Structure 1
């Protein structure tokens, strides 16, 4: 876990903060992991390790697609990320830390505070994230003159919105609330913004010193391009490389798919290895999830591909109903997706679960969801498969 003093020394070049040295604790698992992306082909030879000496921070990737790696970030990249964030948000301010500092999201709250010259507030997460605890931690932060910021993951935002009490009241007073670590359902964003919360969605990873694209627009100096649908990033926030591995070149090739809107804004469509191929059609799960979470009676959704002997995979949806006693009609959910995304994207399997398995708040464990879906559909075949995708 990184401390303010550790990071102050690291930014000054006196030490390296290594967050990869110990196995994850319960607190580690409380933050959705970031990164675990693919480097570009533009890399330098690995024989000379001199560049590793420029690292100020070693932060782990999630290891969700293989063995976890240690991302090495320079002090310059960390500072650039903090300065560009403040420039985008309207100036330096006082931050509330509501994320553990075992991954880049929490670390950057402290780095931004150091760069701003302000003392951050810290929420005690040992009992878990609670709306009342957030309100208590926010109180002294909001009493400081100037601008106020915090960073959350989608599950934390959802809990504050659902509680509709002192936590939400405090959240409304922040000048910006950064949301990242996982895709945020549009319905949750719309509800939070409708309640007066200034939500700013962020996209980034350990390899880019955290979020580097805010509300679809890159931070100053950050560049985005697509190569075969894959998102690639460049700019002053890019990490040096992986410890014991390759040094990054100018561009970093992520594992995510995206598309650029008419205004140039980036829309992230999820990880490339999550795409479902059913009957030869490619279905990004995020497009289906957006439609389903907007339907009445739906609280949360995760869409995965389940094996099928004829079609390769079929689209399957794990749905957490808002009211377990009155779940939405599966056929109505399918029809909504069919109308909005297309016939091939309509879930052939729908199962209602009490909750989605997580690897951290807001980071759904898709492998566990697929297992839970297979089990649920075996015991409740009425919602299982239509004859064809």
Structure 2
């Protein structure tokens, strides 16, 4: 007899999270009631279509997490209670023991759900950051000998600007979900924040590599086809998609679409999404690296970089930036800034100024959404700037 999914829509109040989602997570970890938490608002309909709650649930699944679809249509990832427990137990061991967690991420994504899972496994009650609540106020409500939280890079940046003292109150601040600029990490550590970079996916029950080192029981390798992960944290596969499951989980490991390398010491370095690489003039450009260089410019508060078709270069590097204040930055200024740091092929050839970087329900930057908004089949949008064709050499943009 197939088990019936408990389907919740992510609530927007701390009381609802603690009163509805947390008990459901506890039952999910016990293996007594499989769970799915869908994002609120416009993404819910698409997530529900992927989830297909009326259809029988695959054997062994205890949690279904619908991914954000940052590289295409979202998928329903089938996780077991055993994988969630393995991830949570290894995390607590790596961080130095149980503690009280502050939830500052959406519970429709694996990172937010894992905060609740770790709290259950630690036997502690989580604190939930309320809408509009300051981090300092939430910290004051977070008791216990050890305090932890998990953030996406955008949150870390904002809290460093506004409330660095509140960040220092945590014994560990996990940062993941998107590439984190080395400059941002350096600044956080200079401020005395115990930041820990995490790498993982929904298919690995969330972060499974901390500061480059795999959690206990997790194995990673990397080749030209991307990073592969193995171990007890892996998902069963994808909801109602056996073909995709067979392709992604072949040989007892999960093949990500992330580029990376493993050093002689076993430490993993992630270079970015294989799908995001911009090939311009025969040169591979990593958008995350260009975004990091742009954010170092005093006139840029945030940036998203992507590629667009170009008759001369195959693809051109396009940047959408959020001004740091005052006048908007100029393409003629940003191009040499990036070239000096990453080489001329990485210098953007088209610039758009935006008010803010939109995010997916997971908190990740919506790179595809920004690219789509900037697309105009009749040419660049009004207010954008584009470098004219230069006639440079074949080996790459000049």
Scaled to the shorter chain, the TM-score interval is 0.7 to 0.9
Report matched runs for 1:175-186 at 5 Å: 175-186=171-182
CA contact under 8 A between 2:160 and 2:167: conserved in structure 1?
no
Q: Deviations over 1:120-158 (max 9, x none)?
A: 112223xxxx4x4322222121x32x2110111122222
State the secondary structure of the residue aligned to 1:3.
helix
CA distance 1:275–1:240, change in 2 (3 Å): same
Q: 1:358 aligned to 2:383?
A: no
In 1, Cα distance between the equivalents of 2:389 and 2:335?
A: 11
Report matched runs for 1:339-378 at 5 Å: 339-360=340-361, 362-374=363-375, 377-378=380-381
Task: Look up the match of 2:205.
Answer: 209
Report matched runs for 1:92-111 at 5 Å: 92-111=98-117
Task: Look up the match of 1:26.
Answer: 41
State the secondary structure of the residue aligned to 2:261.
strand
State the secondary structure of the residue aligned to 1:4.
helix
Task: Look up the match of 1:148.
Answer: 147
Q: Would you say how many aligned residue pairs link Structure 1 and Structure 2?
A: 358
List runs of 5+ in structure 1 lacking aligned partners. Answer: 37-49
Q: 1:221 aligned to 2:217?
A: yes
Q: Tell me the TM-score normalised to structure 1 length.
A: 0.84
CA contact under 8 A between 2:101 and 2:149: conserved in structure 1?
yes
CA distance 1:382–1:149, change in 2 (3 Å): closer
In 2, Cα distance between the equivalents of 1:379 and 1:192?
A: 37
List runs of 5+ in structure 2 lacking aligned partners. Answer: 1-9, 11-19, 51-55
In 1, Cα distance between the equivalents of 2:124 and 2:190?
A: 30
Following TM superposition, by how much is the alpha carbon of 1:162 offset from its aligned partner in structure 2, in angstroms? 1.6
CA distance 1:28–1:155, change in 2 (3 Å): farther
Q: Using CA pairs under 8 Å that are at least 6 residues apart, name the structure with larger relative contact order, 1 or 2.
A: 1
Task: Look up the match of 1:64.
Answer: 70
Bigger shift: 111-120 or 54-63?
54-63
Bigger shift: 72-81 or 301-310?
301-310
Compute the RMSD of aligned alpha carbons.
2.7
Query: For 2:235, which of 209, 232, 239 is the aligned residue?
Result: 239
Q: Which runs of 4+ in 1 moved over 6 A?
A: none
Task: Look up the match of 2:6.
Answer: none
Query: For 1:6, which of 24, 31, 36 is the aligned residue?
Result: 24
Following TM superposition, by how much is the alpha carbon of 1:112 offset from its aligned partner in structure 2, in angstroms? 0.4
State the secondary structure of the residue aligned to 1:9.
helix
In 2, Cα distance between the equivalents of 1:65 and 1:115?
A: 32
CA distance 1:381–1:199, change in 2 (3 Å): closer
CA distance 1:278–1:54, change in 2 (3 Å): same
State the secondary structure of the residue aligned to 1:59.
strand
In 2, Cα distance between the equivalents of 1:385 and 1:139?
A: 54
CA distance 1:372–1:294, change in 2 (3 Å): same
CA contact under 8 A between 2:307 and 2:315: conserved in structure 1?
yes
Report matched runs for 1:1-389 at 5 Å: 1=10, 3-19=21-37, 24-26=39-41, 52-125=58-131, 130=132, 132-141=133-142, 143-144=143-144, 146-164=145-163, 168-246=164-242, 248=249, 249-261=251-263, 263-323=265-325, 325-360=326-361, 362-374=363-375, 377-380=380-383, 383-387=386-390, 388=392, 389=397
CA contact under 8 A between 1:187 and 1:293: conserved in structure 2?
no
Following TM superposition, by how much is the alpha carbon of 1:102 offset from its aligned partner in structure 2, in angstroms? 1.3
State the secondary structure of the residue aligned to 1:100.
coil
